[in-house]
Amino acid sequence: MTRIQHMRTNAGNNAANQFMVYDDEGKHFLSYNSKIATIKGDTVLLYNPYWNMYSQTTNGYLLKFLREDSIQDIRAKVESGEYEVIQ
């Protein structure tokens, strides 16, 4: 079963066009109908070109989704191989 949930703004409201989708493949972050990231178990997949500062709004919600402090932290994890980028 697939479940869709709005991400929340800092004020606690539903964020427009920012969603978490839960299904058998894991937990996904979608921004404006584009898949940005997936978490499945211990694996984090990031989708090009959207994950890497595609827009300020998408970047902010990606940080929340991954519970990261900055895009630099995400880039470091990509470089180390902890996060995988999908073309």
pLDDT digits (tens, 9 = 90+) for 1-49: 899 999 999 999 999 999 999 999 999 999 998 999 999 999 999 999 9
Determine the pLDDT at residue 7.
97
Name the band, by pLDDT with cuts 50, 70 and 90, for residue 53: confident
The structure's pTM equals: 0.91
Determine the pLDDT at residue 87.
86
At residue 74, φ and ψ (nearest 5 deg) are -65, -45
Relative orientation angle of helices 56-66 and 71-80, to the nearest 10 degrees: 60
Q: What are the CA-CA distances from residue 24 to residues 21, 27, 29, 36, 82 (Å)?
A: 10, 8, 14, 17, 22
